[in-house]
A = this chain, B = another copy of it.
Amino acid sequence: MQTRLRSALIGATAIAVAGAVQAADLTPKEQIQTRQAGYSFMSWNMGKIKSNLEGNFSQPQVQAAAEAIAGIANSGMGALYGPGTDQDIDDVKTRVKPELFTNQEEVGEVARNFIEAADNMAEVAAFGDEAEVKKAFGQLGESCKACHDKFRKD
């Protein structure tokens, strides 16, 4: 738990401060593509956990999926929301709302909640109690939805 908590804090810190450092490595277009890659990969793993909860429950598969999500969540994706990434670039479309770039306090809050829920999901998956996994999965889904509702265009 301590490791996960530390990871969560590192992740939250990275979201808050890593932007300036790492955004320099990628063009705005690459930043949008890379953050979308992260969300796509997390979505696949969310789907795997969901299908395990709905079908035959494989603890190793759920744990692997949860650790992939936690790893991505803690990777400092805030760095992928640099200047110029608030709008479509060529054929790369983004659904991010302008508010994400102006409401840093609320962004930090939803990001921290997401990271904590992802870390909790990974912790619970390691033990593998299906009822606990279902609860943690619901909480993680809510933390995703909180950001989508506030900062993603539909």
Contacts and interface: CB of A to CB of B under 8 A. Distances in A.
Contacts of A33: 40
Interface residues of A, number: 38
A34 interface: yes
A28 interface: no
B76 A41 contact: no
A10 B40 contact: no
A92 interface: no
Contacts of A20: none
A11 B80 CA distance: 28
Given A7-B67, A65-B75, A25 B47 contact: yes
Contacts of A51: 22, 25
Interface of A: 7, 10-11, 13-14, 18, 21-22, 25-26, 33-34, 36-38, 40-41, 44-45, 47-48, 51, 58, 60-61, 63-65, 67-72, 74-76, 80
